[in-house]
A = this chain, B = another copy of it.
Amino acid sequence: MINYQLLNECPVFKGVAENETRKLLQQVHYQVKKFSKGDIVAIAGEQISNLFIILSGSVRGEMIDYSGKTIKIEDIEAPRPLATAFLFGSENRFPVTVTTNNSVEIFSISISELLRLMQLNSVVLKNYLDSISSRTQFISQKLHFLSFKTIKEKIAHYLLQKAGDRLHSFQLNSTQQQLAELFGVTRPSLARVISEMQREKLIIIDKKTVTLLNKQKLNELLRNG
């Protein structure tokens, strides 16, 4: 028996009334598969033909490298769907091998039935589109951020974005350590560059209060990067 309440917490069915979900699922084919701890749900590179939603338990995504060792990538817990961005598109294969961490129930629906489901219910359709799109937006923002090479550029971009329209000062809510991690650099390197930028009278950072002294030059840093 499916736990409809749980299914409705999943991004795909969110906002659909519980009895509506029940009615929808009567009109399409789907399966609920049970796995034991340690079972392999999918192998990296395998064609994806079904949407999987974890109903209970958790799974992990692992990559297998060229020499055969496995590296854990991420954990996925109920009630999240698997690989929504890889169901469609030109390269619809599992990017990772998926293994169960414990007893797991998985809701499984084929692509064609999922398409039917989306055509039957516009909320499900919109949910799915929102889900893929949000992920794309998140990744492309991250990519944009990575495109700045030097630490100075990263700081300039981060602060200009944080500042927005504010003319003068604003508060930071992260520590240098956290920023360093966000930027993917070491903490002393970040501190050093911040010092430089203060000496160059580009910014002032006093505790957590940031003041941008020269937005013009901060922008030029991004242009010439």
Residues of A at the B interface (CB closer than 8 Å) are 65-67, 69, 71, 85-92, 95, 115-116, 118-119, 122, 125-126, 128-130, 132-137, 139-140, 142-143, 146, 149, 160, 163, 184, 215-216, 218-219, 222-223
Contact between B126 and A88, CB atoms less than 8 A apart: yes
Majority-rule SS of A interface residues: helix
Contact between B133 and A143, CB atoms less than 8 A apart: no
A163 nearest CB neighbor, chain B only: B66
Choose among B69, B85, B89, B133 the residue that contacts A86 (Cβ–Cβ < 8 A).
B133
A164 nearest CB neighbor, chain B only: B66
Choose among B65, B85, B222 the residue that contacts A136 (Cβ–Cβ < 8 A).
B85
Choose among B65, B71, B115, B222 the residue that contacts A125 (Cβ–Cβ < 8 A).
B115
What are 9 of the A-B contact pairs (CB < 8 Å)?
Answer: A65-B223, A88-B126, A90-B134, A91-B134, A92-B133, A115-B125, A129-B132, A135-B136, A143-B146
Contacts of A115 in B (CB 8 A): 122, 125-126
A144 nearest CB neighbor, chain B only: B95
A215, B130: Cα distance in complex, Å:
41
Contact between B136 and A219, CB atoms less than 8 A apart: no
A125, B32: Cα distance in complex, Å:
26
